[in-house]
Amino acid sequence: MINFLKKHMFDKYRLDKDFGKNPEETVSPEEEVAVNEDELFCQAEFDEKKSEIIAAPRYSYWKSVWKTFVGSKMNIAVSILVIFIVAFSFIYPSFSNYDPMDAPYINDASRKYLAPSAEHIFGTDDIGNEVFDVVWEGARNSLIVSLAATAIDMIVGIIVGAIWGFSKKMDKWMIEIYNVISNVPFLLIAMILSYILGNGFGPLIFTMTVTDWIFVAYFIRTQVMIIRDREYNLASKCLGTSTWTMVTKNILPYLISVIMTYISRQVPALISYEVFLSYMGLGLGMQYASLGRTISNYTSYMRGYPHLFWIPVSILAIISISLYIVGQKLADAADPRTHR
């Protein structure tokens, strides 16, 4: 083998070197160079460990989620919009001096029903208040209610749902409770509770979450059941892992994405819930502005002064849709299948 290689290498060598030379002048390959075989072939050291090294950069789940999310310009744009809306609706009302129980311009006919202009950005309403002030005050309260209710729903729902999904005993009676609750008309519960508890933030959030958590729990239960019997959970069981650790380490990390999807639907849904309840007169009450109450107040002017109706509705739509999109995109990014 080595001789064969040598011969070929020398043949080639001679061809290159002797090109255009007189054949007599060429030196025979034997004399020319004494090639050291060791130089030609040195033994590559075989290191078994080397084949185990992973060359890919270190993977971190949350870093990948972040990278995937900010990798899209659209995501960044919508996120900025959401942050701006939320921040604005929390900051602006504290500077606006708007008080829903007060009507300082009620006797000033020249300030009523003004169309949007540079001076009155969203125009003015039937009692001379700035629609801009009313809408942002309402947006803030609606956001507070829906975010708080979502948080309560999700926390209670995830904890109960995770245990529910694991425990076959609990499943039997929880399913019955679920069936009963999901068949009672929600409006009935809301009406009864509003008569008992009255109006205000606490009662409204309670009304919205008192039965709603069970739907979250049911959703989580189904998800848990799907992955509960997967082999890696069996492996954990064989290693003596407790049910609680299984939930937090084996199950919930797999559910981040679907939970994000759920939240991204829950926040806008609860905003509409609040709007609906306020519209029905079961919401926050007279002393608080909310998007629902604002829209319900202004509905009668839909024909005569359309800006009064369409501005709060548009703000509601923008808030709901942008929150939904951000939630969906976060859910996508939280799915490791989208990670590169």
Partner 1 sequence: MSTNNNEREVILSIRHVDISFDIGKKKKFKAVKDASFDIYRGETFALVGESGSGKTTLGRAAIRINPCSAGEILFNGERISGKISRKQDRNVIRNIQMIFQDPAASLNERATIEYCISEGLYNFHLYKDEEDRIAKVDKALEDVGLLPEHKSRYPHEFSGGQRQRVGIARAMIMEPQLIIADEPISALDVSIRAQILNLMNKLKKEKNLTYLFIAHDLSVVRFIADRIAVIHLGKIVEIAESEDLFRYPVHPYTISLLSAVPMPDPIIEKQRDSIVYTKEEDDPEASPREMREIRPGHFVYANDEDMVAFEERLKKLELYNAENQ
SS (H, E, C) 66-127: HHHHHCCHHHHHHHHHHHHHHHHHHHHHHCCCCCCCCCCCCCCHHHCCCCCCCCCCCCECCC
Beta bridge partners of 124: 130
Q: Is 118 in the site for partner 1 (CB under 8 A)?
A: no
Site for partner 1 in 62-91 (CB under 8 A): none
Residue 231 beta carbon to partner 1: minimum distance, rounded to whole angstroms:
4
Q: Of 94 and 245, which has the nearer Cβ to partner 1?
A: 245
Q: Of 29 and 336, which has the nearer Cβ to partner 1?
A: 336
What DSSP letter does each residue of 26-78 carry, written as one string?
A: PPPHHHH----HHHH--PPP--GGGGG---SPPP-HHHHHHHHHHT-HHHHHH
Stretch that binds partner 1, among 51-59, 70-78, 142-150, 288-296 (CB under 8 A): 51-59
| Alpha carbon of residue 268 to chain centroid | 13
Q: What share of the chain is helix, strand, coil (3-state, %, to 5)?
A: 70, 0, 30
Q: Of 61 and 88, which has the nearer Cβ to partner 1?
A: 61
Q: Among 31, 52, 74, 196, which residue sits at the site for partner 1 (rule: CB under 8 A)?
A: 52
The pair phi, psi for residue 242, each rounded to 5°, is: -75, 160
Site for partner 1 in 197-236 (CB under 8 A): 230-232, 234-236
Q: Of 71 and 253, which has the nearer Cβ to partner 1?
A: 253
Residue 159 beta carbon to partner 1: minimum distance, rounded to whole angstroms:
19
Residue 268 beta carbon to partner 1: minimum distance, rounded to whole angstroms:
28
The answer to whether residues 200 and 284 touch, using CB atoms and an 8 Å cutoff, is yes
Site for partner 1 in 239-258 (CB under 8 A): 239-242, 245, 249-250, 253-254
CA distance 82 to 93: 17
Q: Of 211 and 338, which has the nearer Cβ to partner 1?
A: 338
Tally of helices (H runs) and strands (E runs) in the chain: 15, 0
Residue 254 beta carbon to partner 1: minimum distance, rounded to whole angstroms:
6
Residue 230 beta carbon to partner 1: minimum distance, rounded to whole angstroms:
6
Residue 224 beta carbon to partner 1: minimum distance, rounded to whole angstroms:
15
Which residues of the shown chain bind partner 1 in the complex (CB under 8 A)? 48-49, 52-54, 56, 58-59, 61, 230-232, 234-242, 245, 249-250, 253-254, 336
